[in-house]
């Protein structure tokens, strides 16, 4: 089972847009990542997001290229300050590859909890619009497979 963790792409300031949708740069960067990932045929079951506009827009752009079988949906437990243990427990019951689109510090804390057993270890340095791929072994251990960030792509 693979778990893809995605920090939303660059968003507008609250003063510029109270909904905090993506900037043009953010849209372009996440589209570049989506186009890079598309030929990999990730076989996603679904893309889940926090419900915040910036996360939903990021999820929609990724899903348009990656075509998850179960589509895109909002879920709880992905807000910036949510307890990472919620999703650490949920992924134990998942068998299908899933993408979570959310925010810092939650995603960094979740990745550290899965990889190190401690949400405060700082195991992964997320980048806006980047995708982190974690995989779970048959024994239940998590490992970092790869990470793609917009600035690394041509």
Each domain of the chain, given as residue ranges in start order, spans 2-152
State residue 149's pLDDT score.
98
d(CA 141, CA 152): 28
The CATH number that domain 2-152 falls under is 3.40.50.1240
DSSP assignments along 81-97, one per residue: TS-HHHHHHHGGG--S-
**Max Cα separation, the chain?**
48
29-52 per-position pLDDT tens digit: 999 999 999 999 999 999 999 999
57-95 per-position pLDDT tens digit: 999 999 999 999 999 999 999 999 999 999 999 999 999
């Amino acid at each position: 089972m693979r778990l893809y963790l995605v920090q939303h792409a660059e968003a507008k300031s609250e003063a510029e847009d109270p909904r905090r949708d993506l900037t043009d740069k953010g849209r372009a960067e996440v589209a570049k990542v989506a186009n890079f990932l598309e030929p990999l045929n990730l076989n996603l079951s679904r893309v889940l997001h926090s419900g915040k506009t910036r996360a939903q827009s990021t999820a929609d752009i990724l899903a348009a290229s990656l075509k998850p079988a179960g589509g895109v949906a909002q879920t709880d437990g992905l807000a910036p300050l949510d307890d990472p243990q919620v999703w650490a427990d949920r992924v134990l019951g998942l068998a299908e590859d899933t993408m979570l689109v959310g925010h810092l510090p939650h995603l960094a804390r979740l990745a550290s909890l899965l990889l190190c057993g401690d949400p405060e270890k700082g195991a992964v340095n997320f980048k806006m619009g980047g995708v982190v791929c974690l995989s779970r072994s048959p024994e239940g251990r998590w490992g970092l497979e790869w990470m793609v960030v917009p600035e690394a792509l041509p």
